[in-house]
Amino acid sequence: MKQISMLIAASVFAVQANAMQWQALPGTAPAPADNPTTEAKVELGKMLFMDPRFSSTGTVSCNSCHNVMEGGDDSRSVSMGVHGKTGGRNAPTVWNSAFHSAQFWDGRAALLEDQAKGPVANPVEMGMEDVETAMDRVRKIPGYKAYFDRAFGENSMTVENAAKAVAAFERTLITPNSPYDRYVKGDKQAMTEQQVRGMNKFASSGCTSCHSGAAFNGPQQKLGEGFFTKFPTFADSDYVAKYTLADDKGRQEVTGNSADANLFRTPTLRNITDTAPYFHNGSVNDLAEAVRVMAKTQLNKELPDGDVADIVAFLTALTGEYPEISMPRLPATAGASIIAD
């Protein structure tokens, strides 16, 4: 009887562990208490997200680097901002960013509301003097007032509300119902045999130690509490020098703490087939190669080609359904340009 009880307990534990490990993507994203998602905020946020007039040159919008009409990134190794300037990091996809444990590669912003303000005043990205100067441009466009009033009430054209609107829009950028999601919900025909093999190898190889949870970006955290991974972990790999993986100190640049060197927020693997090139510096342009690099630098393993192919096949099953997005009609200025000023 004791042996049977132990077997039952082990079976229950395995089922519980599997349930914790394989989770479908929720249909809605969590929002902070002070910024519940509403249709009016989403409508305004989409307009602000698409409008390039709040960059110093009038050429760069949020969508320039996070193109929601595609994979939510810009397909470049590093993004290009105003005056052709380029930064040092790859633009992460904005799709499913609502499920990130923190924002930016180094986690310097806790919530989407905080993240929305950063690029505007970054000299390489949108190049405005500060966020209030950018907000002054919004105020100079008469048509925006009605949208702010509808979303937040009278006298609401503030930086904080603009950021809340953009964040509300971004929380609608969710891609559920991937073959993987359908599979873990019970449709065992949703994934191919190779994808199922890859799913099992993904777990048995140790990939889920970092890429767990519904978004494959780490364990569920409280909103704004970052989950970070050291990358590279095994710095003696030849891949580290080949792809300059250790040059960027990651979170250390935020905290100044040497213990945070090379720590990065664990990125989502959702829609990964649509977001090449890979890693924080966009140095790898092939998904199979990225799998090999991760296996060696993070797990100290050299995976056989068959295992790599199976894991890549599984990763293709993480591409979900993109909701249809229509481009907004932006309010115009009559008889004058806010950029020329």
Residue 43 appears among annotated catalytic residues: no
Q: Which of 125, 154, 160, 324 is catalytic?
A: 125
CB 128 within 8 A of CB 120: yes
CB 198 within 8 A of CB 314: yes
- The two three-digit tokens of residue 62, written as one number: 């949020």
For 58, list phi and psi in degrees, rounded to 5. 75, 20
Cis amide bond preceding 176, omega within 30: no
What are the Cα distances from residue 250, in Å, to 108, 219, 270?
A: 10, 20, 22
Between CA 211 and CA 18 the distance in angstroms is 14
Q: Report helix, strand or coil for 250.
A: strand
Q: Report helix, strand or coil for 201.
A: helix
- Alpha-helical (H) ranges within the chain are 2-21, 39-50, 62-65, 112-115, 131-139, 144-152, 159-170, 179-184, 193-204, 238-242, 252-255, 287-299, 305-316
Q: Residue 304: CB partners within 8 Å, gap ≥ 6?
A: none
DSSP structure class, residue 34: T
Burial per residue of 159-186, b for 16 or more beta-carbon CB atoms within 10 angstroms, e otherwise? bebbbbbbbbbbbbbbbbebbbbbbbee
Cis amide bond preceding 142, omega within 30: no
Catalytic residues: 125
